Structure 1
Amino acid sequence: MAETALQLDSRDNVLVALQPLAAGTGVRFGAASTSVTEDIPAKHKMALEDLAPGDVIRMYGMVVGEVTQPIPRGGLVSTRNVRHRAEAYSATRQPVSFTLPDAAPWTERTFMGYRRADGQVGTRNYWLVLPLVFCENRNVERMKEALEEELGYGSEGNSYRQHVRKLLQQKKAANSATASAKETSAARVFPNVDGIRFLTHQGGCGGTRQDAQALCGLLAGYIHHPNVAGATVLSLGCQNAEIRMLMDELRARDPQMTKPVLVFDQQKSGRDSTLMGSALDATFAALEEANSATRSAAPLSALTVGLKCGGSDGFSGISANPALGYLSDLLVQLGSKTLLSEFPELHGVEQELINRCVTDEVAQRFYDLMHAYSARAKAVHSGFDMNPSPGNIQDGLITDAIKSAGAARKGGVSPVRDVIDFPQYATTPGLNLLCTPGNDVECVTAQSGAGANLVLFTTGLGTPTGNPVAPVVKISTNSQLADRMADIIDFDAGGIITGEKTIAECASELLEFCIGVANGERLTKAEQLGQYDFIPWKRGVSL
C-alpha cells in the first residue's frame, strides 16, 4: 500500500489524509497501517483508535479538540463529533530543547536594497501619501489620480493631472510644450522610485482617543518603514489624530527624524485648490530627491520578514507553514527579524511559545497579551474558538486549536526574542511575536507597520492579499491551488505533500526566491495585480 495518510507526531491519535480515502481501503503511515471505516476527504483527519465522548484529539503532539460523539477507529473526525479544546498554559517557562538548521551556506549572501539614513534597508523605494483622517480620503484619491498617470505609474486621470503635467513640462523643458499626455507618461519620470503609495482609511476622528493614538502609531510605522523614502500627509486640522500625535509617534521610532514628512492642513490652507496645489508642488520636488536613491548590497540581516497564513487548509501545517518555519530559523541565525503574528491562531500552542521565550519578562508579556485579547473576545460573547472560517472547516481545520497548531509552524523552533504589541515597531533581531488579529489584511497591515520589508504568506485556498509598501509573497500549500490560481500564487510548496521535496529543500528554494524579490528583480503577483490592501486594526475584537 502507498502512503496516503500522515501521522504528524508519534503521540497523535489521528491521521491526516493526503488524498481522499475510501471506506474499506487500507492506509499506510510510516511503518504502520490501518483500515478506513468511512470516506475521509483529503486534508481531513481519521481516528487511529476508538474514541469516546470526553476523549481528547491530539495533533502535532498537543491537544486540539474534544470528542463529543463516539468515533470508531478509521472514522472521520469532523465538527459532528469534535469540538474545540486546548490545553491550559501559564507564564512559567519550562525547559525546552531544539535543533536549528545549518545557516552557514547563507552567511555571505546579500540582497540589493535601499540603504536609509537610520540604518534600515528597503527592498523597495516608495513615496507615501496618506491622510490623518477619513475626511481627507477624497484629496488623497485625487492626488493618486493626478500623480500616477502623469508620472508613469498608471491610473485614470482627473483635473489635477494638468497641474502635474505643468510641473513635468518644467522639469523636461527640452520637450515640446505640446507633447501629448501619452507621450509624456510613456515611461517613469522617476525611475528609481518604485511607486507612490496612497493610503486611505476610515479612522482619525470619532472612536476613542486610543483608536487615534494607535492609528498614528501605525502610520508612523509606515513612514518609518525601510521601503519608504518619505511621506505627504494630509490633515483636516481638527481631528483626534493630530499632527502632533503623529510626529510624537514618528520620533519614538526615528528620534533623528531622518525622512522628509510633508504635512498639509486643509483648514489652514483655506481653499481646496491651495491645499492640493501646495501638496502636489512639494511632493513632486520630494520625488526628485527620492529618485536619487540607488540599490547597494546589504546583508540578509537587514531583512524583516512577516510570517502569515490565510485561506488555510488541512495541508498548511504540513507543507508551506513548516517551510516558512525552517526559513525563519535560517534567517534569525543570520541576524534578521521575523514576525509571527495572528494571536487568535496561536491559541493552543501558548505554552510551547512561552517555553521558547528567552526571558521571564518576554514570556509574561506574551501571556498577558493573550489573556487580554481572549478576554475582549469573551466580553462580546465570542472567543478564539470561533476563529476558523467556513473555508478552513471545509478543508479540515475544524477547531481553532488544529488551525493554531499548524499556523504556529511558521515560527520554526527558534527562541522567541521579543513580544510586541500593535502598533509597535520591531527592533529586536530574531523571532518576534507581534499581537495582531488573524484577519489577513489587518495582520499584514500591522506587520508592515512593524517594519516588515517582506511578507511571506501561505495559503491553501487562495487569497489575493497584498500591501502598499511590503512585497507579499504568496506560497501555496498544494500544487492544485498553484495551478488553479496561478495569477496570485508566487511559489508552490505542494511538493512537500507529494514527497517530491523536503521541507528543507523547499525552504532553501523559497529563500532564493525571496532574495530575488528583495533585489527588485521579481515583482510579486500582488504587486503585478496592484493589490495594495490597508486596514488598520482598531484594537476591537477581530479574529
Structure 2
Amino acid sequence: MIAETKQTYLQIHPKDNVLVALQDQKAGSLIYFNGQEFALKDAVAAKHKFTITDMTAGTEVYMYGVLVGKTTRDLPAGSLLTTENLKHAAESFSKKTEEYVWQAPDVSKWQNRTFQGYHRADGQVGTRNYWLVLPLVFCENRNIETLKNAFLKELGYTSTDKYEVQVRELAELYRQGKDLREYTFDAAPVYTSKQRLFPNVDGVKFIVHDGGCGGTREDSDNLCAILAGYCVNPNVAGITVLSLGCQHAQVSILQEKLKERDPSFSKPLLIFEQQKAASESAMLSDAILQTFRGIAEANKLERQPAPLDKLVVGVECGGSDGFSGISANPAVGYAADLIAALGGKVVLSEFPELCGVEQELINRCVDEETVNRFVTLMRDYAARAEAVGSGFDMNPSPGNIRDGLITDAIKSAGAAKKGGTSPVTDVLGYGQYIRRSGLTLLCTPGNDVESTTAMAGSGCTIQLFTTGLGTPTGNPISPVVKVSSNTSLATRLPDIIDLDAGPVISGEKTIEQLGEEMLEYIIGLAGGEFDTKAMELGQDDFIFWKRGVSL
C-alpha cells in the first residue's frame, strides 16, 4: 500500500485507477495525483471512490489491484463512483497461475510467549472454560430457557443490570401515579451480583435455534455437525443436550459427528430425551442435578501456560464500510500472519466476500487438492445462489453501499485482507473442524452470525471481527473482538467496540503496529485477563446455515 497524497485521498494499490476519499471532498476541489491535476466533478464523501482518468462506458475499474467493476457510462476524471455508474465485475479463476513465496513477518519477540489456557485431553487449549447447554431441536428451546433462568443468577453469572433497574423505577413511579413524561434515567446505576460459585468456570452457555426438524435432512445433519464442533471446541468443558426424541436431528447423528471430529471424545456429554422421560418436570430436575455436578467437576480445571501455536483465531467482518479494507481488515490480516508464522491456526470465512480475489487465494494454496476443493466449493455455492434468483453481486447491504462498498468485488477485495498473506493450508466445508496450522478457508455465508457460528463450530477459540458501521454480534463460546475501521465509530459506540483501527486512517499508526497490538490483545484475552464488550453484554448469537427448502 502506498502513502496517500495530502492525507485526504488514497490509492490503495499501484494498479488502481480510482482513489478513496479519506475525508469529505467538495465538488470542484483540485486533486493532485501522479503529476496530474483535475477537479472533482462531484462531492465525494469520505470512504467513497472517484476516478483518476477519463473512462468510457465499459471501462474496467481496479481497486486493491484487482478488477472490482465496469463503468456503465462515460465518466470524466474526478467522477464519484455510484451504483448508477458502476456494475459488479470480477476476474475469472481456475488453476494456479503462479507459485507463491511467502515473506513471513518476524515473530522472534513472541517465540517464547505463552497464554494461560485450559488444556484438554485431546491436546487442544481453550481460552475459556464453559459448560454448554443445547437443544437438538427447536421444540426444546423453552426448556433450555427454563434451565438458563434456573442456573445463571444462582451461580453468580448474571447481575441486576441497568435495564432491570429502569423498569423497576418506572413501575414504582406508575404505582405512585407520577407523570412519566418528566422521567429521566441515570444510565449508570449500581450493579449487584453474587460472587461466582465456580470461579474456574467462565460461564454456563445456553444455545437456542430454529432447526433440527421440519427442513431437509441436509439441514438437520449440518446442525448436528455444527453442534458437534461446539462440543469439541476446547472452550467447552462439558455439554448438556436436550432432545425431544422424534426429530430429524437424532442423538445418534450428533454422536456420529462427534466421532468424526474426535474419535476419542471424552468430555462429559449429558443427554436428556423428553419423550423417554417420566415427565418434563422429572427430565428438567434430573438435567439440573447432573449439570450441576458436571459444572462442579469442570471447576477443578485451572489455567496453565500454553504456547501461542495453540491459538485458533477466526477473522470476520460485518457492517463494513469504505475504510474497512484500508484499516481494520489489513491490520487483522497482519495479526493473522503473525499467528500463522508462530504455528497457530487462522480461519477466514464468508465465501461470497471472496468473490473477485479467488485467483489470488488459489495461487496461495499449498497444493492442488486444496486448490480443487476451494474452486469446487466456490462454484457450488455460487450456483446454489443463482438457482434461487440471487448471486454474489447482490451481497453488499444498504449500509455497505451507503458507506462506499458499491459492488461485491469492492467489498470482497477489502474483506479478504483479513486473511493476511500467508499460504492457504486447508479449505473446509461448512461444519467441518479445523485440521491444520496456518490459514484455513471455511465455506460460510457472508451473514455475520451464520459465519461466526460456523467458525466457533470449526474450533476457533477467539474471533477478530472488523466493522465500520457497528454491530453487537457475539458468540456463546468463542470470544468476539470488535475492531472499528474508524475512530468516529469507536467513539460513538464504545460499549460494543474493543479496538480502534482509525489511527491507520489518520496516519498515527501503521498497519503493522496495529497488528502487533492486536496480537498482544489476543494473548491477554486468551489468558482470561479481560473479556470483550460482546461478552460483557451477554451477546451469545447462534444461527446455523440452512441450505435446503423447508418440508
Q: Do both proteins adopt the same fold according to a TM-score greater than 0.5, normalized to the shorter chain?
A: yes
> Does residue 1:133 correspond to 2:108, yes or no?
no
* Partner of residue 419, structure 2: 411
Q: Which one of the candidate residues 191, 214, 225 is aligned to 1:217? A: 225
* Structure 1 residue aligned with 2:290: 282
In the alignment, the residues of structure 2 paired with residue 235 and residue 66 of structure 1 have an alpha-carbon distance, to the nearest angstrom, of: 52
Pick aligned residue for 1:389 from 389, 397, 404: 397
Matching residue of 1:24: 28
- Which residue of 311, 321, 333 corresponds with 2:319? 311
TM-score (norm 2): 0.91
1:270 Cα offset (Å): 2.3
Contact 1:387 1:400 in 2 (8 A): yes
| Matched residue, 1:299 | 307
Q: Give the partner amino acid of 2:442.
A: L
Deviation at 1:91, TM superposition (A): 2.9
Contiguous gaps of at least 5 residues in structure 2: 161-191
Asked if the contact 1:150/1:185 (under 8 Å) is kept, the reply is no
Equivalent residues of 1:426, 1:450 under 8 A apart: yes
- Whole-angstrom CA distance in 2 between matches of 1:297 and 1:51: 58
SS of the residue corresponding to residue 77 of structure 1 reads coil
**Residue aligned with 2:219, SS:** helix
Q: Quote the Cα distance in structure 2 between the aligned partners of 1:509 and 1:462.
A: 21
Alpha-carbon spacing, 1:213–1:93, altered in 2? closer, same or farther (3 Å) = farther
Indicate whether 1:8 and 2:16 are aligned. Answer: no
CA distance in 2, matches of 1:519, 1:342: 28
Note if contact 2:105-2:341 (Cα within 8 Å) is conserved in structure 1: no
1:3–1:29 contact (8 Å) kept in structure 2: no
1:335 aligned to 340, 343, 358, which one?
A: 343
Q: 2:166: which partner in 1?
A: none
Aligned residue number for residue 74 of structure 2: 70
**1:114-133: per-residue Cα shift (whole Å, max 9, x none)?**
00111110100000000111
2:59 is aligned to: 55
Q: Equivalent residue for 1:148?
A: 152
Aligned partners of 1:393, 1:352: CA distance in 2, in Å? Answer: 25
Q: Identify the match of residue 107 of structure 1 among 97, 108, 111.
A: 111
Q: Distance in 2 between matches of 1:529 and 1:341?
A: 25
Give yes or no for contact 1:466–1:527 (8 Å, CA) kept in 2.
Answer: yes
Q: Tell whether the 8 Å contact from 2:105 to 2:337 is kept in structure 1 after alignment.
A: yes
Query: What is the match of residue 274 of structure 2?
Result: 266
What are the Cα deviations for residues 470-492 of structure 1, in whole angstroms up to 9, with x where unaligned? 11000000000000011100000
Structure 2: how far apart are the matches of 1:315 and 1:241?
42
Offset of 1:33 from its aligned partner? 5.4
Task: Mark the CA change 1:84 to 1:150 in structure 2 (over 3 Å): closer, same or farther.
Answer: same
CA–CA distance in structure 2, aligned partners of residues 226 and 528 of structure 1: 21
Equivalent of residue 207 in structure 1, options 201, 209, 215: 215
The whole-number CA distance in structure 1 between the counterparts of 2:479 and 2:219 is: 27
Alignment partner of 1:534 out of 509, 519, 542: 542
1:373 aligns with 2:381: yes
Deviation of 1:522 after TM superposition, in Å, equals 1.1
Question: Normalization by structure 1: what TM-score?
Answer: 0.93
Write the letter of the residue equivalent to 2:22: L
| Deviations 1:272-320 (CA, angstroms, capped at 9, x unpaired) | 1110111011001101100001001101111110000000000011000
Aligned to 1:307, what secondary structure does the other structure show?
A: strand
Q: 1-side partners of 2:244 and 2:145: how far apart?
A: 15
Separation (CA, whole Å) in 1 of partners of 2:489 and 2:364: 34
For structure 1, the 5+ residue unaligned runs are: 157-183
SS of the residue aligned with 1:401? helix
- The corresponding residue for 1:422 is 430
Give the letter for the 2:202 counterpart: D
Q: Which amino acid aligns with 2:503?
A: G
2:456 to 437, 440, 448: 448
CA deviations 1:352-378 (Å, max 9, x no partner) are 000100001100100000000000010
Q: Which amino acid aligns with 1:11?
A: K
1:393-419 deviation line (CA, Å, top 9, x unaligned): 000000000000000001111100000
- CA gap of 1:270–1:399, structure 2 versus 1, over 3 A, is same
Aligned counterparts of 2:349 and 2:315: Cα–Cα separation in 1 = 7
User: What is the distance in 1 between the residues matched to 2:7 and 2:257?
Assistant: 55
- Does the aligned pair in 1 maintain the 2:525–2:531 contact within 8 Å? yes
SS of 1:76's equivalent in the other structure is coil
- How far has the Cα of 1:225 moved from its partner? 0.7
Residue 473 of structure 1 pairs with residue 481 of structure 2: yes
Q: Distance in 2 between matches of 1:337 and 1:256?
A: 22
Q: Give distance in 2, aligned partners of 1:70 and 1:302.
A: 53
CA distance in 2, matches of 1:449, 1:131: 15
Structure 1 residue 116 and structure 2 residue 120: aligned?
yes
**Which residue does the alignment assign to 2:185?**
none
The counterpart of 1:354, out of the listed 362, 366, 369, is: 362
Are residues 185 and 493 of structure 1, via their aligned partners in 2, closer, same or farther at CA, if it must alter by over 3 Å? closer
The question of whether the paired residues in 1 share the 8 Å contact of 2:351 and 2:444 is answered with yes
Counterpart of 2:195 (choices 187, 191, 207) is 187
Q: In structure 2, what is the Cα distance between the partners aligned to 1:333 and 1:507?
A: 13
On the 8 A contact 2:216/2:548 being kept in 1, the answer is no
CA contact 2:243–2:272 (8 Å) conserved in 1: yes
CA change 1:35–1:483 in 2 (3 A) is: same
In 1, the alpha carbon distance for the partners of 2:95 and 2:335 equals 28
Q: Distance in 2 between matches of 1:494 and 1:348?
A: 26
CA RMSD of aligned residues (A): 1.5
